[in-house]
Copies of this chain bind each other. A is one copy, B any other.
Amino acid sequence: MLAKRAARESAARLRSLGGANVLASRGMATENKKDGKVMHPDLLNRHIKATEYAVRGELYLRGEELRREGKEIIFTNVGNPHALGQPPITFTRQVCALVAAPMLLDHPDVDMLFPEDAIYRAKVFLQSKDMIPGGIGAYSDSRGALGIRKEVAQFIADRDGVAPTNPDNIFLTDGASVAVRSCLHALIRGPEDGIMVPIPQYPLYSASIKLYDGQLCPYYLDESTGWGLKPEELKRSIAEARSKGINVRGLVFINPGNPTGQCLTKEDLQGLAQFAKDEGVVLMADEVYQENVYQDERPFVSMRSVVAGMPELKDDVELFSFHTVSKGSHGECGFRGGYVECTNIHPGTVDEIYKIASINLSPNILGQVMMSLMVNPPKVGDPSFPDYNRQRKGTIASLRRRAHMMTDAFNSLEGVECVFTEGAMYSFPKITLPPKAMEAAKAAGKPADTFYCLRLLEETGISAVPGTGFGQEPGTFHFRTTILPMEEKIAEVVELFKNFHSNFMAQYK
């Protein structure tokens, strides 16, 4: 029945479009093979072809090639802490081992191997109806286990001093990227819809907007004020978009910033909330680096708490907030655990997002377990608390030192300026290259920052990402590097970098 109906609908639709010839005359592809291939690259979905994704682009691929050839590569292109030696937090992994192998719970010596609170926690996961009673091998609800969504709601409430949200407004996902993509997919209806995105940005946004056939409407962060957010730039951006006939539907911000590292103040966030209400745009709050803050003047403030504190708009601003287990002190990228909280989102829309999530059945369960452990960690008095706390704080303290080491090193170099990495995991220095280097880049047919990063990779093994991939003011050049190499290694990375840079500058003087 479904099939017959689909066929009828499709026929009616094609008739209404005037049939395939009209499609062809409007430039849509009707060709079915090229060089003998149905799936020839020229005959794919055009949005897939048009999408660019820089973080794993030319530099990454060349780095992989060199690695396969046996060269040691320092992958500072992706925020992937464990790959660079950050150890997992012991307690979380003890619980993971027990839920992965529940037979250990029946072993007579289990309490010699695992602390009491890890054992207790594993039993709660496996025995509570709202957690994962089928174990990590069973699908959960497509939004994630109800009990874990309740824990996330409580975490947000405690963090922000607000009442816990309905857990059905929270979706657990295979990493925050999936959540971002789902929201953008629902929001963007076609080429007439635009999303405001900070420039420089994390390319997940430019790639997804392209993939869903929307318009990226750039607003520039101001490097001269530490990648500051300027209200007048927001206004300029939306006016420009509207002058082109674009419906601006959403606004993305990243706090702490990626790749720029700045932390927004409460006033910045209030300005964004007011803008969202005044202009009628949905806010997408990328807050995945909320634990990665390396100064005390601007602690992390969530958009959720800011909106809750503004009575004149608290029920109006439509907000998606994203978080993850991949960053912060856990850095558990490989678990693919993320969540999105929907605030003031129409329940019918939440249902639509749920329906689409259902097609993939369930987010992976161990990612959900890690999310639970992150938002509901050991408490003072629990046997694991002292070690847990030491590990968690130690990682952030070390990252703070590394943020200074990286920024200071960049700023000591000729032709390099770097805003201090206030938060997140990246430095994004600006490079001013001599004219001869610019000419050499042009001759090689590459943007100057790509040219520079390729040379850096070939000569030192350091894999960074050129600023082109994130967007930058025309005529400026940057690159992004993580601050993640371990402390004992970072001096060496800095030294490699300094030598490379001096030689490069000398060569093109």
- B334 contacts A362, C-beta separation under 8 Å: yes
Q: A96: which of B101, B247, B447 is its contact (CB, 8 Å)?
A: B101
A218 neighbours in B (Cβ, 8 Å): 3-4, 6-7
Most buried by B among A35, A52, A138, A178: A138
- A44 contacts B187, C-beta separation under 8 Å: yes
Complex Cα–Cα for A119 and B470 (A): 43
A422 at interface by CB-CB < 8 Å: no
Q: A359: which of B177, B346, B470 is its contact (CB, 8 Å)?
A: B177
A359 neighbours in B (Cβ, 8 Å): 51, 53, 177, 181, 204, 207-208, 211
- A364 contacts B336, C-beta separation under 8 Å: yes
Q: A30: which of B141, B192, B330 is its contact (CB, 8 Å)?
A: B192
A169 neighbours in B (Cβ, 8 Å): none
Q: A38: which of B64, B80, B249 is its contact (CB, 8 Å)?
A: B249
- B88 contacts A33, C-beta separation under 8 Å: no
A345 neighbours in B (Cβ, 8 Å): 39
Report the minimal beta-carbon distance from A147 to chain B, rounded to whole angstroms.
12
A367 at interface by CB-CB < 8 Å: yes
Q: Which of A129-137, A151-159, A403-411 contacts B (4 or more CB under 8 A)?
A: A129-137
Complex Cα–Cα for A177 and B107 (A): 37
- Mark out the residues of chain A between 144 and 196 whose CB falls within 8 Å of any chain B CB in the assembled complex: 174-175, 177-178, 181, 185-192, 194
Report the minimal beta-carbon distance from A295 to chain B, rounded to whole angstroms.
26
Complex Cα–Cα for A316 and B37 (A): 8
Contact with B along A350-364 (1 / 0, CB 8 A): 011001101111111
A206 neighbours in B (Cβ, 8 Å): 2, 6
- A37 contacts B318, C-beta separation under 8 Å: yes
Residues of A whose CB lies within 8 Å of any CB of B are 1-4, 6-7, 10-11, 13-14, 17, 19-21, 23, 28-30, 32-33, 35-41, 43-46, 48-49, 51-53, 55-56, 64, 78, 80-84, 88, 90, 93-94, 96-98, 100-104, 107, 109, 112-113, 132-142, 174-175, 177-178, 181, 185-192, 194, 197, 199, 201, 204, 206-208, 211-212, 215-218, 220, 240, 244-247, 249-250, 280-282, 316, 318, 330-336, 345-346, 348-349, 351-352, 355-356, 358-367, 447, 468-472, 474
Q: List 16 A-B contacts (CB under 8 A).
A: A1-B472, A20-B247, A32-B249, A38-B318, A39-B282, A51-B355, A83-B133, A83-B138, A96-B97, A96-B101, A97-B97, A97-B98, A174-B364, A211-B356, A334-B362, A364-B364
Can you list the 8 inter-chain pairs with the closest CB atoms, starting with the nearest? A3-B218, A41-B348, A20-B245, A334-B365, A97-B101, A83-B134, A82-B137, A82-B138
